[in-house]
Amino acid sequence: MLGGTTEASAMATALHAAGVQAEFSYAGRTAAPVTQPLPTRIGGFGGVDGLVEYIRAHAISHVIDATHPFAAQISRNAIAACNATQVPLIVLQRAAWIAGAQDRWVHVADTLAAVAALPDAPARVFLAIGKQTLEPFTVKPQHHYLLRLVDVPEGPLPLPDCAVVIARGPFTEAGDTDLMTEHGITHIVAKNSGGTGAQAKLAAARARHLPVILIERPALPPRQIVHEVTQVMEWLHQSARLGV
């Protein structure tokens, strides 16, 4: 199982409880990953070829992709590797967020579009996108950026005017409302990750009538996607009955 999300942890618990022989794979971007009830490996595979080799060397019969919806590269690698090895693949992915009548969302295709959607006048931006894609925002240094990260940054961040809060979700609407009030936030930039663990910032933005620039998920080749752990377990049981 390719993991790293809340859903992946729930999936690991279910696999362990059912006595399914499985391994949990972290990409290695988090310094202190959550301990899992399954044997765990940390780090990449070396691209598609490396993942193919790993699948064959470890006699992997099924692959569960429970990575973040924006972890596009590992998901593409999983699709290619499973096609090459003829190993069944299923994706456990949280459903995307959908705007309500009171939301002020601007949908954009990618990070560069999110940068372009920010105003030219100085603003105070809650940049809720992690630390991997900060560089594009340096073209708008007039803004103050608030970052919320799981780990303390190992070095200086590229943004000249930013504050960092270290915290791990799930978060609450009340907590995110206090955070936005404390930092005088006027705009939010977020990825459409879906799920409930990071949804609080959207509820807080709605209550405060703040605009949200929402980056949509990257396009990926067709694959079987489910949203519940029970659906993955049913898929595994069906595969076992069919001898797949």
46: domain CATH number is 3.40.50
pLDDT at 197: 78
Per-residue pLDDT of the chain (244 residues; tens, 9 = 90+): 999 888 999 999 999 999 999 999 998 666 678 899 999 999 999 999 999 999 999 999 999 999 999 999 999 999 999 999 999 999 999 999 999 999 999 999 999 999 999 999 999 999 999 888 999 999 999 999 999 998 899 889 999 999 999 998 889 999 999 999 999 999 999 999 998 878 999 999 999 999 999 999 999 999 999 999 999 999 999 987 666 5
Closest by CA to 27, choosing from 8, 10, 13, is 8
Are 124 and 186 within 8 A, CB to CB? yes
Count CB neighbours of 211 within 10 A. Answer: 18
Determine, yes or no, domain membership for 28: yes
Residue 201 and residue 232 in one domain: no
- pTM as predicted: 0.85
Residue 204 and residue 116 in one domain: yes
In the chain, count H helices and then E strands.
7, 11
What distance in Å separates the CA atoms of residue 7 and residue 14, rounded to the nearest whole number? 11
Query: CB-based burial of residue 161 (10 Å sphere; 0-12 exposed, 13-18 middle, 19+ buried)?
Result: exposed
Instruction: Name the residue range of residue 58's domain.
Output: 6-95+220-242
Q: Considering all CA atoms of the chain, what is the largest pairwise distance in Å, rounded to the nearest integer?
A: 61
What distance in Å separates the CA atoms of residue 30 and residue 25, rounded to the nearest whole number? 12
Residue 129 and residue 48 in one domain: no
pLDDT at 244: 59
What distance in Å separates the CA atoms of residue 85 and residue 57, rounded to the nearest whole number? 11
pLDDT at 29: 66
**What residues have CB less than 8 Å from 171, skipping those under 6 apart?**
197, 198, 200, 201
Residue 201 and residue 183 in one domain: yes
Burial pattern 120-145, b for ≥16 Cβ within 10 A else e, equals eeebbbbbbbbbebbeebeebeebbb
3-state SS, residue 124? strand
Determine, yes or no, domain membership for 1: no
pLDDT at 154: 86
Determine, yes or no, domain membership for 226: yes
Q: Encoding tokens for residue 144?
A: 């103050």
Please, what sign has the CA dihedral across residues 192, 135, 42, 200?
Answer: negative
Determine, yes or no, domain membership for 210: yes
Residue 82 and residue 173 in one domain: no
Determine, yes or no, domain membership for 189: yes
pLDDT at 30: 66
Residue 235 and residue 189 in one domain: no
Residue 82 and residue 164 in one domain: no
CATH code, 135: 3.40.50.720
Are 183 and 207 within 8 A, CB to CB? no
**What residues have CB less than 8 Å from 73, skipping those under 6 apart?**
none
Residue 138 and residue 197 in one domain: yes
Are 72 and 27 within 8 A, CB to CB? no
Residue 52 and residue 147 in one domain: no
Determine, yes or no, domain membership for 134: yes
Determine, yes or no, domain membership for 206: yes
* Torsion angles phi and psi, residue 20, rounded to 5: -80, 130
**Total of domains in the chain:** 2
Residue 69 and residue 85 in one domain: yes
Residue 131 and residue 181 in one domain: yes
Residue 91 and residue 166 in one domain: no
**What residues have CB less than 8 Å from 37, skipping those under 6 apart?**
12, 13, 16
Q: Encoding tokens for residue 203?
A: 């509820």
Determine, yes or no, domain membership for 128: yes
